[in-house]
């Protein structure tokens, strides 16, 4: 039964993306703000599918910490769900995404409209590019969201925070809002299997601007990892270094 539900959900996941993407594309061509309309619509469709097909629910906590206007956000990344769900609580999210995704049907066209691509093999050049993109997006009142580990991580994987977030933090000189989650409980980084359950995406208080690089990275990792582990069942938790 779990396998059947998972297959049905995958059909729903990509089918709803195609339908919403194609229906709203003419509006996106007229006004890029409809990218966020489409993303929110897809997020609601995914939540519906998770609840009524998989038997999983998604909750949000810490909504009083959601930044308004231009902002920088760093989120734990455990599943594909993390790339869509934030659009349900952010007004104009701009995601840092892998450049190769720009070639995917439907989704790629939307990403190229107003999101920020990064060539993960470009190193210094790629880092400068995302910093410039983030600076421009924040100036336009958008919320730039980056996954500081760069890719989806399994629940038991040790943290692996990359320097991109530190470069953006220093250049923009604004607070960073961390987001913790336990979405990997229902949606693993790879594969089609989905599990019933209840997961939480938790927005944490912002880290103030102006901290030294090393102190900022320690604080960011500690906050996200501590809160993400706290959202897991006791038997799945691992210790977090202070």
DSSP result, 130-173: HHHHHHHHHHTT-EEEE-TTSS---TTPPP---THHHHHHHHHT
Alpha-carbon distance of 74 to 238, in angstroms, equals: 21
What residue spans define the domains of the chain? 57-236
What's the mean pLDDT in 16-35? 92
pLDDT tens-digit profile of 174-194? 999 999 999 999 999 999 999
CB half-sphere exposure, 181, CA atoms < 13 A: 29
pLDDT tens-digit profile of 198-242? 999 999 999 999 999 999 999 999 999 999 999 999 888 887 776
Instruction: Return the pLDDT at 120.
Output: 64
Of 140, 124, 23, 160, the closest CA to residue 71 belongs to 140
Cα Dmax for the chain: 52
Q: What percent of the chain is predicted at pLDDT more than 70?
A: 98
Per CATH, the homologous superfamily of domain 57-236 is Glycerol-3-phosphate (1)-acyltransferase (3.40.1130.10)
> The pTM is what?
0.94
Classify burial at 111, counting beta carbons within 10 Å of its beta carbon; exposed 0-12, middle 13-18, buried 19 or more.
buried
pLDDT tens-digit profile of 99-115? 777 777 778 788 888 88
Instruction: Return the pLDDT at 81.
Output: 96
Q: Is the pLDDT of residue 123 over 70?
A: no
Instruction: Return the pLDDT at 75.
Output: 97
Alpha-carbon distance of 99 to 117, in angstroms, equals: 5
Contact between 96 and 145 under an 8 Å Cβ cutoff? The reply is yes
Q: What percent of the chain is predicted at pLDDT more than 90?
A: 74
């Amino acid at each position: 039964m779990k396998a059947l539900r998972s297959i049905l959900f995958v059909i729903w996941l990509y089918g709803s993306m195609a339908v919403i993407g194609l229906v709203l594309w003419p509006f996106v061509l007229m006004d890029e703000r409809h990218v966020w309309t489409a993303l929110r619509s897809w997020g609601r469709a995914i939540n519906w599918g998770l609840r009524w097909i998989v038997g999983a629910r998604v909750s949000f906590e810490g909504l009083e910490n959601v930044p308004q206007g231009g902002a920088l956000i760093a989120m734990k990344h455990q599943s594909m769900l993390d790339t869509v769900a934030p659009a349900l609580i952010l007004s104009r999210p701009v995601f840092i995404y892998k450049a190769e995704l720009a070639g995917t049907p439907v989704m790629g066209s939307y990403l190229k409209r107003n999101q920020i691509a990064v060539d993960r093999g470009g190193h210094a050049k790629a880092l400068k590019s995302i910093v410039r993109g983030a600076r421009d997006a924040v100036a336009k009142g958008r919320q730039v969201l980056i996954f500081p580990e760069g890719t989806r991580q399994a629940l038991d994987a040790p943290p692996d925070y990359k320097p991109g977030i530190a470069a953006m933090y220093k250049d923009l000189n604004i607070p960073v809002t961390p987001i913790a989650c336990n979405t990997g409980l229902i949606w693993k980084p790879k594969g089609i299997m989905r599990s019933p359950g209840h997961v939480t995406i938790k927005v944490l208080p912002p880290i103030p601007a102006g901290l030294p690089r090393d102190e900022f990275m320690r604080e960011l990792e500690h906050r996200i990892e501590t809160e993400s582990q706290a959202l897991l069942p006791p038997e799945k938790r691992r210790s977090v270094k202070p």
